[in-house]
Amino acid sequence: MKKILIYGMGNPYRCDDTIGLKIAEILKKDIKNKTATIKSGSIDGLAMLDEIIGFDKVILVDSINTKSGVPGDVYKIELDSVTSNSSLAASHTIDFITALRMGKKFGYKMPEKIYVYAVEIKDNNTFSEKCTEQVSASIPEVVKRIIDEVSE
Residues 6+ apart with CB under 8 A from 81: none
Q: Give the residues across from 8 on adjacent strands.
A: 40, 61
Confidence of residue 102 (pLDDT cuts 50, 70, 90): confident
Which region holds residue 65: left if phi is over 0, alpha if psi is between -120 and 50, else beta? beta
Q: At what angle do helices 45-52 and 96-105 cross, to 10 degrees?
A: 50
Check residue 93 and give its pLDDT: 53
Global confidence as pTM: 0.87
4 close to 57: Cβ distance less than 8 angstroms? yes
User: E strands within 23-84?
Assistant: 36-41, 57-64, 74-78
In the chain, how many domains are there?
1
User: For 125-150, how does the pLDDT look when each residue is reduced to its tens digit (9 = 90+)?
Assistant: 999 999 999 999 999 999 999 999 99
Closest Cα to residue 61, out of 80, 45, 44, 74?
A: 74
**Residue 64 contacts residue 91 (beta carbons within 8 Å):** yes
CATH code assigned at 61 = 3.40.50.1450
- Chain centre to alpha carbon of residue 39: 10
Q: Which domain holds residue 106?
A: 4-151
Predicted local distance difference test score (pLDDT) of residue 94: 59
- Residue 120 corresponds to which amino acid? E
Average pLDDT over residues 99-114: 86
Q: Give pLDDT tens digits for 38-87.
A: 999 998 777 888 899 999 999 999 999 999 999 999 999 998 744 444 44
